[in-house]
Amino acid sequence: MILQRSYPVEPWSVSETTLDLSLLAQSESLFALSNGHIGLRGNLDEGEPYGIPGTYLNGFYEKRPLPYAEAAYGFPETDQTLINVTDGKLIRLLVDDAPLDVRYGDLHDHHRRLDLRTGLLERTVDWTSTAQTRVRIHSRRLVSFSQRAIAAVEYVVEPVERAARITLQSELVANEQQPRLSRDPRVAAVLEHPLEAVTHDRDDFSIVLLHRTRASKLLMGAGMGHIVEAPGRTETEVVVSQDWARLTIACTLQPGEQLRVVKLIGYGWSSLRSETAVRDQVAGALSGARLTGWDGLVREQRAYLDEFWDTADVAVDGNPELQQAVRFGLFHVLQSGARTERRAIPSKGLTGPGYDGHTFWDTEMFVLPLLTYTYPKAAADALRWRHSTLDRARRRATELHLAGAAFPWRTIRGDECSGYWPAGTAAFHVNAGIAAAVVRYASATGDTGFEQEVGLELLVEIARLFASLGHYDRNGGWHIDGVTGPDEYSAIADDNLYTNLMASRALVAAAEMSQRHPAIASGLDVTPEEVSDWRKAAAAVSVPYDDVLGVHQQSEGFTRHAEWDFVASRDTYPLLLHAPYFDLYRKQVVKQADLMLAMHWCGDHFTAEQKAHNVDYYERRTVRDSSLSACTQAVLAAEVGHLDLAYDYAYEAALIDLHDLQKNTRDGLHMASLAGAWLALVAGFGGFRDHGGMPSFDPALPEGLTRMRFSIRWQNLRLTVDVHPDEVTYAIDANARSGLLLRHAGEEITVTAGAPITRPLRKPTPLLQRPMQPLGRAPISAHRATGSVPEE
Amino acid sequence: MILQRSYPVEPWSVSETTLDLSLLAQSESLFALSNGHIGLRGNLDEGEPYGIPGTYLNGFYEKRPLPYAEAAYGFPETDQTLINVTDGKLIRLLVDDAPLDVRYGDLHDHHRRLDLRTGLLERTVDWTSTAQTRVRIHSRRLVSFSQRAIAAVEYVVEPVERAARITLQSELVANEQQPRLSRDPRVAAVLEHPLEAVTHDRDDFSIVLLHRTRASKLLMGAGMGHIVEAPGRTETEVVVSQDWARLTIACTLQPGEQLRVVKLIGYGWSSLRSETAVRDQVAGALSGARLTGWDGLVREQRAYLDEFWDTADVAVDGNPELQQAVRFGLFHVLQSGARTERRAIPSKGLTGPGYDGHTFWDTEMFVLPLLTYTYPKAAADALRWRHSTLDRARRRATELHLAGAAFPWRTIRGDECSGYWPAGTAAFHVNAGIAAAVVRYASATGDTGFEQEVGLELLVEIARLFASLGHYDRNGGWHIDGVTGPDEYSAIADDNLYTNLMASRALVAAAEMSQRHPAIASGLDVTPEEVSDWRKAAAAVSVPYDDVLGVHQQSEGFTRHAEWDFVASRDTYPLLLHAPYFDLYRKQVVKQADLMLAMHWCGDHFTAEQKAHNVDYYERRTVRDSSLSACTQAVLAAEVGHLDLAYDYAYEAALIDLHDLQKNTRDGLHMASLAGAWLALVAGFGGFRDHGGMPSFDPALPEGLTRMRFSIRWQNLRLTVDVHPDEVTYAIDANARSGLLLRHAGEEITVTAGAPITRPLRKPTPLLQRPMQPLGRAPISAHRATGSVPEE
């Protein structure tokens, strides 16, 4: 059966043409607006019906105890959970005496559209109340990129056919009623009534409510101000109480007359500053926004996005659905990281409560590559946030009897919040991912200040961690035992290949950067002996290989383990909901790209033949129960010449949320997969790699894509790569003052301003046939994607 | 510093000569009385002060949810916790107007004595109230072996110097106030007010309170009846309410006059039977006990124990403290198993709330060997209990995607209650231990009915479990991956040697017993192909060995792992309270005998040289953070000729509770270690093994022991082994109608009635030097044990 798409294919927007209440929560995530600091789910203006009401401030969390049936040393005791803060986006409407509620009366038209170039969420409603009064509403909403503390709503209502008494209530509501979320452990726990009222204020221009969290003792302010335009007399009333505030505007409108209200919403929070300071901060932000005005905010938003798209856009010809999805993903990744400014980028951005609002390794390994090459400032900010948590990571390392710093598997503030250590604390590769992100950002930007202030110290502490984590065997081989790699279905393994290679590179990077900044290194007590120890361990790292099968082992002994019975487990994906960890861990079943991820980011360690054989072996055992997998499988499938398979994976990575492939888009978007779609295209079909600090490309398009054009920033240059089926053109901006050395299909070429270089493409010939996936886990075909969702 | 012993050394009793309140909880455990059905901690008659008040009924538990920070498939959701039931042992006393409380007034003398031959706990108190009235009290307490539902207290009070008004209050109290137990995860959770009142009754002879648990819905009755002897007029009053009942007896006594009260206490519980039935059951038990009378109960108790000691006693000359400790341990192991009758034997018996009252693998592997060879009826009962839980174990196996039956790691009723699967569910060796206990009991007793009713089905289902758990590698080797062996510091390992060998023996045993009882096997759907598969897997089992080091590996890859830094961890034992599981798991540090346990129970798999080298290697890495370790280390140390080391371990195993070596005797006694002390002597210094279903011996005494005499039951015969420094004499009872074939130091001999055989002892010469233990973990010297506790 071919289902009708929920969201029509458009190049620069995502639209919802009817209101399907069963998709409400999913749409709230898709239509979420954020600047990285404030996040507003795409809840309806009037607040109800909702899937999950959501207003978030980055880093604003409540603490709660982590329970254990059998606690043990080093188990984290406190969780941090992103909470739904005071909702400022609420605008309720009374039409005559009927409240606007799309579940009652007649909804003639309901249209929403997220415009990826303006950054606005627009909504049109044509509704007749049960009392037969008809109104049209047009609202637009933004979370300002240019004014970090500000969101705004323009709300216009107009009676149709006959006059109506219109009562508009604009509100701030703290401690909103929340739905009971699912029992799935991956979904956030509901925290009911997380906010304690501190004080509330109003002046002529604004209303501010101050609240504090009970346990984490964070202080927040939410404020609103209004600009009202009405044709005649209006009655206005303001009520402010502890947990809510309401501005009421009542008027009578004739058909064709409009009431227009611009609502400015301001937020601020702090763990340190006083009540007065936070109140003033919110009120001040509102004053600034009032000065800018709605049109000004809209202009600033467009300008900000124009600059972003100028570098970040990936033009994909031949598959409009993929084109839309990739831009949708880029827009949301930007939203998640744009103005975080020393806060984390959560795995779901600020689009929903999933994973408690935690940040994982996804940020450094999937989101930051995209931001590094398109919007490097945000990548630097995210790493500066990591750096700001170094003391907590050092304490954690000490607690674990390790040296250096052990960054958390999941966190908001920097403390380990993982309540299941085999898939948390044991995943030390998160640290190697941070190191890789530091190295990548530093080589791509040449930002020496960053290296000196942030990068070197991160690398040194991570190198110390791994040096203390590894050990030498009696033959001089260096091992990291008992850790969990990216594949969470093979936890607590010896010599996870990904971890080992990434750790060895982190050690070398720390050594190299220490030697580049000897004075700072010396200030960090780095000695030549320590540097030499790092290099020695890195050189001796164990890389498990199965001689008989001729493939690398994901971890020591992996290929000796039992095979998973995919026939028996058909239709029981994700496996973790149907099988015990015990059974998953001991068998050759892979949740997500692990060895393949190593072959992407440490690709220069492997020969082409090894890659082909490894892809063939692990494709057959990878069930892709994680949203972090498809994009990496796309990159490797492309590299070994399975372009069609890569195309399918790229499509799946990009469409993860628009098609709700994981059935949990309701809880928030999958930022890593959305960023991974960029990787699938740019590293997959563009063949982009950054091994050794030099950009290299080896493009090849799959059947079905007729052109792909993308840009990356490298050392203040913007390189544009325009890939056609048979050739590729490399160009840098006309105003560039230096050339750019890059590698095309192994050949070094220098691109200079005004002199694009065109090269023919290699035609990749795969060494092996396209591999099968586990039963029931072949990817969706990208070719079917022409305006319809896949068959079900 | 040499501390004064708390409990003087006596051959057949344990005495407390002064009341040290800091040792109160420990004494309560040591002085606990039980018949396996009812357990009374050694609380003072008057109830206060207490360490932990405790009255337990075997199998009577409450359910509570098991919490997880991150739940997952197959994690058990419900715990079962032994609860403190209605306390019937309370007898409070008012002397004139002062309540007897040892914390007030003057305590001239306080003496308690547990008599291991009579089974009575006696108490003498000489006390003067703050109002200067002096009384002497003598009480005796028993939990009847012969009348399973009955406990009794004889309480005699007598004024000294001048007359006194004596008011005695005999009580039943439900939902006693409980202390907050420690946060140590190994200690039971407190359940406050676990009992809901159902009804209460009194008649001329007894008072019965009926209660039900809230969640597990178990019904219990507690009753009391009294026999009162007083010289003059007494006032008697009875008050009965929901949660308590009180008989008050008031009289005035002259110096030398005595009030004597015999309190009979009856218990019954059921998950099925009606209130009326349980009430009648308790009242009936009280009537029977009244008929028997106090003296009759005392006589029955003595007769029961005489029979037990007749076989079970181990006479040890040369170390009176060890002698006392071994008898103390035997007594408590008997108490834990005597009358369980299709209930489990908990790891702490019914002596305290530790481990929530759960049963572990300890029962089959440590307690049942002792019971099998000294009190086989109790061993059969314990295995019949396992059999009664087969359906739950089958369901658990199915849930885990395995065949056969997966018995729980910890439980009361048979359901898995382990809240941390790497040290719970993954420890599948519990099943192999059950199979070994079946085989041991069957060969030792020749109880064919047991095989047919219970044994074969257990073996078949366990064989099916292991057959589904293992797999073949490409070279035909058979492996069990990802399991946890006895050593909980090396969890989730491939090819744990102990598990593999024990599993292979379980497979062979199931095959053999199936062929012995073909009709029953066929009724269990056992086919010749299945039997052949079991034998094939068993023959192909992988036994990891390190060729370079010349030692077996506890599990695959173990000897390649990093060494533990014992210098750094000195004084931080047990390590699990000071180091993360992550670090423990990946290093060569062993919590408790694992490979050594394999060398004990599967000793015929190893050569003498291998044993010597293995002991040497693992001794240096075993920290003995479990009470299950010392006894096995004793057995192996003795076998490889380190008799002095074995002596120290045997001493430690035996003294674990009398010296509170684990600092948690307060929570209950360590039944496995107490039973293990018997193993240390009989299997260690006696060299007793039962490989292949034939008893074999190879005795050797350590320096310091001048003689050791023990008996074992074998096929209805009682064999007595009398070991002297240079020779051993084997004898069977004079009335035996057949001879007994055994092996002495490799030589087969047949002992016949009236013809004891004496043989000289081999003088063992150790191949290697006595090994060192990890820093700070050498055992206590048994030689220091001459009336004083070890240096601290």
| ipTM of predicted assembly, 2 dp | 0.93
Q: Name chain B contacts of A419, Cβ cutoff 8 Å.
A: 68-70
- The tens digit of pLDDT for each residue in B606-619 reads 999 999 999 999 99
Confidence at residue A23, expressed as pLDDT on a 0 to 100 scale: 94
Helix axis angle, A456-469 to A376-388, nearest 10°: 60
Instruction: Test B73 with A576 for CB contact under 8 angstroms.
Output: yes
Instruction: Test A71 with B580 for CB contact under 8 angstroms.
Output: no
Q: Which of A602-616, A775-789, B190-204 shows the lowest per-residue confidence on average (mean pLDDT)?
A: A775-789
Phi, psi torsion values for B235, nearest 5 degrees: -95, 130
- The tens digit of pLDDT for each residue in A636-683 reads 999 999 999 999 999 999 999 999 999 999 999 999 999 999 999 999
Instruction: Test B67 with A71 for CB contact under 8 angstroms.
Output: no
Confidence at residue B629, expressed as pLDDT on a 0 to 100 scale: 97
Which residues are within 8 A (CB) of A693 and not within 5 positions of it... i.e. 6 or more apart?
A443
C-alpha B529: how far from chain center:
40
Residue of A401, A482, A586 with shortest CB distance to B481: A586
Which residues are within 8 A (CB) of B456 and not within 5 positions of it... i.e. 6 or more apart?
B510, B513, B514, B517, B520, B521, B524
Q: Name chain B contacts of A580, Cβ cutoff 8 Å.
A: 72-74, 399-401, 421, 425
Burial (Cβ within 10 Å: 0-12, 13-18, ≥19) of residue B772: exposed
Instruction: Test A471 with B420 for CB contact under 8 angstroms.
Output: no
Instruction: Test B421 with A579 for CB contact under 8 angstroms.
Output: no
Q: Name chain B contacts of A482, Cβ cutoff 8 Å.
A: 582-583, 585-586
Instruction: Test B73 with A418 for CB contact under 8 angstroms.
Output: no
Cα distances (angstroms) measured from residue B40 to each of A17, A422, B122: 73, 41, 14
Report whether pLDDT(B391) > 50.
yes
- The tens digit of pLDDT for each residue in B488-504 reads 999 999 999 999 999 99
Residue in chain A nearest B481 by alpha carbon: A586
Residue of A185, A483, A494 with shortest CB distance to B557: A494
Confidence at residue A689, expressed as pLDDT on a 0 to 100 scale: 98
Instruction: Test A583 with B421 for CB contact under 8 angstroms.
Output: no
- Please give the average per-residue pLDDT across B530-536, as a whole number: 98
Instruction: Test A579 with B73 for CB contact under 8 angstroms.
Output: yes
Q: Cβ of A578: how many Cβ atoms within 10 Å?
A: 14
Work out the percent of chain A whose per-residue pLDDT is above 70.
97
Residue in chain A nearest B578 by alpha carbon: A73
* CA angle, B134 then B136 then B137, to 5°: 135
Residue of A70, A483, A581 with shortest CB distance to B72: A581
Q: Nearest-CA distance from A419 to chain B in Å?
A: 5
- The tens digit of pLDDT for each residue in A399-428 reads 999 999 999 999 999 999 999 999 999 999
Name beta bridge partners: B42. Answer: none
Give the integer Cα–Cα distance in Å for B207 and B283. 8
Phi, psi torsion values for B522, nearest 5 degrees: -65, -35
Residue of B74, B556, B561 with shortest CB distance to A557: B556
Catalytic (active site) residue A488: yes
Q: What is the dihedral of CA B606, B612, B616, B621, to 10 degrees?
A: 20
Residue the block writes with tokens 């693992």: B618
Q: What is the dihedral of CA B355, B356, B359, B360, to 10 degrees?
A: -30
Split at pLDDT 50, 70, 90, the class of A181 is low
**How many interface pairs between A and B have CB atoms less than 8 angstroms apart?**
150
Q: Name chain A contacts of B556, Cβ cutoff 8 Å.
A: 557
Helix (H, G, I), strand (E, B) or coil at A685: helix
Report whether pLDDT(B569) > 90.
no
Strands A150-160 and A164-173: unpaired
Confidence at residue B179, expressed as pLDDT on a 0 to 100 scale: 79
Please write down the HEC assignment for all residues of B352-410.
CCHHHHCECCHHHHHHHHHHHHHCHHHHHHHHHHHHHCHHHHHHHHHHCCCCCCCCCCC
Residue in chain B nearest A66 by alpha carbon: B69
Contact status, residue B504 vs residue B439, Cβ threshold 8 Å: no
Q: Name chain B contacts of A399, Cβ cutoff 8 Å.
A: 580
Report whether pLDDT(A616) > 80.
yes
Residue of A79, A422, A561 with shortest CB distance to B481: A561
Q: Cβ of A102: how many Cβ atoms within 10 Å?
A: 17
Residue in chain A nearest B576 by alpha carbon: A73
Choose, out of B183, B429, B560, the residue to mutate when testing the contact with A (most A CBs < 10 Å): B560
Report whether pLDDT(A359) > 90.
yes
Confidence at residue A641, expressed as pLDDT on a 0 to 100 scale: 97
**DSSP alpha helix (H) spans, A456-607:** 456-469, 497-516, 518-523, 528-539, 566-569, 581-585, 595-601
Residue of B185, B400, B473 with shortest CB distance to A582: B400
Burial (Cβ within 10 Å: 0-12, 13-18, ≥19) of residue B548: exposed
Q: Name chain B contacts of A479, Cβ cutoff 8 Å.
A: 560, 562
Cα distances (angstroms) measured from residue A178 to each of A49, A53, A191, B479: 12, 7, 8, 50
Write the DSSP symbol of residue B248.
E
Residue of A71, A185, A401 with shortest CB distance to B72: A185
Residue in chain B nearest A71 by alpha carbon: B185
Q: Which of B321, B451, B488, B530 is an active site residue?
A: B488
- The tens digit of pLDDT for each residue in A516-571 reads 999 999 999 999 999 999 999 999 999 999 999 999 999 999 999 999 999 988 77
- Please give the average per-residue pLDDT across B59-65, as a whole number: 94
Q: Cβ of A158: how many Cβ atoms within 10 Å?
A: 19
- The tens digit of pLDDT for each residue in A52-79 reads 999 999 999 999 999 999 999 999 999 9
Contact status, residue B259 vs residue B168, Cβ threshold 8 Å: yes
Report whether pLDDT(B3) > 90.
no
Give the integer Cα–Cα distance in Å for A171 and A46. 10
- The tens digit of pLDDT for each residue in B34-61 reads 999 999 999 999 999 999 999 999 999 9
The helix or strand, by DSSP H or E, that contains position A64, with its residue range, turns out to be: strand A61-65
Contact status, residue B297 vs residue B150, Cβ threshold 8 Å: yes
Residue the block writes with tokens 């220490």: A514
Confidence at residue B784, expressed as pLDDT on a 0 to 100 scale: 66
Give the integer Cα–Cα distance in Å for B545 and B497. 9
- The tens digit of pLDDT for each residue in B137-176 reads 999 999 999 999 999 999 999 999 999 999 999 999 999 9
Helix (H, G, I), strand (E, B) or coil at A151: strand
Q: Name chain A contacts of B577, Cβ cutoff 8 Å.
A: 73
* CA angle, A247 then A253 then A255, to 5°: 140
Residue in chain B nearest A396 by alpha carbon: B580
Contact status, residue A285 vs residue A150, Cβ threshold 8 Å: yes
Q: Name chain B contacts of A491, Cβ cutoff 8 Å.
A: 492
Report whether pLDDT(A786) > 70.
no
Average pLDDT of chain B to the nearest whole number: 95
Confidence at residue B783, expressed as pLDDT on a 0 to 100 scale: 83
Which residues are within 8 A (CB) of B463 and not within 5 positions of it... i.e. 6 or more apart?
B404, B435, B506, B507, B509, B510, B511, B534
Q: Nearest-CA distance from B636 to chain A in Å?
A: 28
Choose, out of B63, B64, B66, B73, the residue to mutate when testing the contact with A (most A CBs < 10 Å): B73
* Amino acid (one-letter) located at A124: T
Instruction: Test A72 with B576 for CB contact under 8 angstroms.
Output: yes
Split at pLDDT 50, 70, 90, the class of A5 is low
Residue in chain B nearest A422 by alpha carbon: B582
Give the integer Cα–Cα distance in Å for A522 and A534. 15
Q: Name chain B contacts of A71, Cβ cutoff 8 Å.
A: 185
Helix (H, G, I), strand (E, B) or coil at B343: coil
Helix (H, G, I), strand (E, B) or coil at A329: helix
Q: Cβ of B15: how many Cβ atoms within 10 Å?
A: 16
Cis omega (within 30 of 0) for bond into A574? yes
Report whether pLDDT(B2) > 60.
no
Write the DSSP symbol of residue B59.
T
Give the integer Cα–Cα distance in Å for B336 and B346. 8
Strands A696-697 and A740-744: parallel
Q: For B164-293, where are the E strands, in sequence order?
A: 164-173, 195-202, 207-213, 219-229, 235-240, 244-253, 259-270
Q: Which of A62, A457, A488, A530 is an active site residue?
A: A488
Q: Nearest-CA distance from B471 to chain A in Å?
A: 6
Phi, psi torsion values for B61, nearest 5 degrees: -135, 165
Split at pLDDT 50, 70, 90, the class of A704 is very high
Residue the block writes with tokens 């827009």: A331
Choose, out of B63, B66, B68, B70, the residue to mutate when testing the contact with A (most A CBs < 10 Å): B70
Give the integer Cα–Cα distance in Å for A67 and A431. 26
Q: Cβ of B197: how many Cβ atoms within 10 Å?
A: 15
- The tens digit of pLDDT for each residue in B282-341 reads 999 999 999 999 999 999 999 999 999 999 999 999 999 999 999 999 999 999 999 998
- Please give the average per-residue pLDDT across A588-605, as a whole number: 98
Q: Nearest-CA distance from B15 to chain A in Å?
A: 36
Please write down the HEC assignment for all residues of B673-696.
HHHHHHHHHHHHHCCCECHHHCCE
Split at pLDDT 50, 70, 90, the class of A192 is confident
Instruction: Test B70 with A185 for CB contact under 8 angstroms.
Output: yes
Choose, out of A70, A187, A561, the residue to mutate when testing the contact with B (most B CBs < 10 Å): A70
Report whether pLDDT(A160) > 80.
yes
Percentages helix, strand, coil for chain A (3-state, rounded to 5) are 35, 25, 40
Assigned token pair, B748: 């087969």
- The tens digit of pLDDT for each residue in B756-768 reads 999 999 988 999 9
Split at pLDDT 50, 70, 90, the class of A83 is very high
